[in-house]
Amino acid sequence: MTTLAAPDARRHTEQDRSQRRPGPRPAGRIAGRVVVFVLLAGYAVVSLYPFLWMVSATFKTQFEVVRGGHLIPENPTFDTLVNTWNQLNFFDYFLNSVLVTTYTVVLTLAVYAAAGYAFAVLRFKGRTALFRMFMALLFVPGVTVMLPIVILENELGLLGTHMGLVLPFVNGTAPLSVLLMNGAFNAIPHELRESARVDGASELRIFTSIYLPLSRPALITVALLTAIPTWNEYLLTRVSLNDPSTYTLPLGLQTLASESVPQYNNLMAGALIIVVPVILLFLFLQRYFVSGLVGAVKG
């Protein structure tokens, strides 16, 4: 019986393998993928060309930019970039942007990590209603509250200062930050908190030693989603700041554009100075960014 069963078993195994082998793909599916690839490639070219032109113009003279021509500079020069950085106060604008962005990110993480922990873990009266109110703020356009913010800053003596920018930026990130942190903390097993409570750990110790380390991808995601809009913010900054010594990079770029005879190579160099830090930051932290979004959605 054993000798007879072995060939049968072998035959069935070969049949199963043949059934599992993928057959030839239909021509329609291959054609569909080719069309999608071509469309995506075309979209990528259209999207990347302005950026490549900006980089190219940064290393050209004003005459070469106005004349037009090839995307690759004929005589590449770093003089435009150096001139924009040193002689047009862009170093001061860069430091101001770093200062405003850093304060905004630190305050956002400190405030809304604690708020997300409270909504996800703690039980208190009105928790659901308060959380829904935060979520409703996602649908409120920021421009509608700009005038009240400016009036309030003026009353508090903050108008024209960097702190007058930081506080509205922190407030504006509240809905999305609370949503992401709440989802990340909900994904952490509650048994860890119960075990820590049994061991005598305080609520603050549980928050800082268990929940914050385990939610690092979400924290980095919130930091990125806060840093990038803050770094690029123009409208509120334009309304709030009047002293050139407090200008951030977007306002510095606007001063170049408002010259009677715009130097397009200087404009492109200024734009490159603004864009490069954001790109590098995202490339360095993108794996945490994706993990943070996935974890928040699952939570």
Burial class (CB in 10 A: 0-12, 13-18, 19+), 20: exposed
Amino acid, single-letter form, for residue 243: D
The tokens of 280 are what?
A: 């590098």
Mean pLDDT of the chain: 82
**Is 26 part of any domain?**
no
pLDDT recorded at residue 84? 84
The tokens of 277 are what?
A: 């830090």
Q: Give the C-alpha separation, 101 to 227, whole Å.
A: 6
More confident residue, 55 or 25: 55
Yes or no: say if 190 and 214 are a contact pair by the CB < 8 Å rule.
Answer: no
Q: Where are the beta strands (DSSP E) in the chain?
A: none
**Is 42 part of any domain?**
no
**Is 45 part of any domain?**
no
pLDDT recorded at residue 2? 46
- Rounded average pLDDT over 263-291: 82
Amino acid, single-letter form, for residue 269: A
For 234, the domain range is: 84-298
**Is 108 part of any domain?**
yes
Yes or no: say if 90 and 273 are a contact pair by the CB < 8 Å rule.
Answer: yes
Of 255, 47, 291, the closest CA to residue 183 belongs to: 291
What are 73-90's pLDDT values in tens digits?
A: 888 888 888 888 887 788
Q: Give the C-alpha separation, 150 to 297, whole Å.
A: 35
Q: Give the C-alpha separation, 238 to 244, whole Å.
A: 11
**Is 75 part of any domain?**
no
The tokens of 14 are what?
A: 């070969």
Of 208, 187, 21, the closest CA to residue 113 belongs to: 208
Q: What is the largest CA-CA distance in the chain?
A: 98
Answer yes or no: is pLDDT of 299 > 70: no
**Is 257 part of any domain?**
yes
Q: How confident is the model at residue 125 (pLDDT cuts 50, 70, 90)?
A: confident
pLDDT recorded at residue 10? 53
Which long-range CB contacts under 8 A does 211-214 form with residues at least 24 apart? 211/117, 211/121, 211/185, 212/113, 214/188
Give the residue ranges of DSSP H helices in the chain: 2-20, 27-58, 62-67, 79-87, 90-120, 127-136, 146-156, 163-172, 174-186, 190-198, 203-206, 212-214, 216-232, 235-240, 249-257, 264-298
pLDDT recorded at residue 267? 87
pLDDT recorded at residue 4? 46
Burial pattern 172-192, b for ≥16 Cβ within 10 A else e, equals bbbbbbbbbbbbbbbbbeeee
> Cβ atoms within 10 A of the Cβ of 169, count?
22
| Phi/psi of residue 118, nearest 5 degrees | -65, -45
Alpha-carbon separation of residue 188 from 141, 156, 194, 198, 296 (angstroms): 32, 40, 12, 17, 11
What are 178-225's pLDDT values in tens digits?
A: 988 888 898 888 888 889 888 888 888 989 888 999 888 889 889 999
- Rounded average pLDDT over 134-162: 86
CATH code at position 164: 1.10.3720.10
Work out the percent of the chain whose per-residue pLDDT is above 70.
Answer: 86
- Rounded average pLDDT over 260-287: 84
**Is 195 part of any domain?**
yes
Count of the separate structural domains present in the chain: 1
Q: Whole-model pTM? A: 0.79
pLDDT recorded at residue 1? 44
**Is 205 part of any domain?**
yes
**Counts of helices then strands in the chain (DSSP H, E):** 16, 0
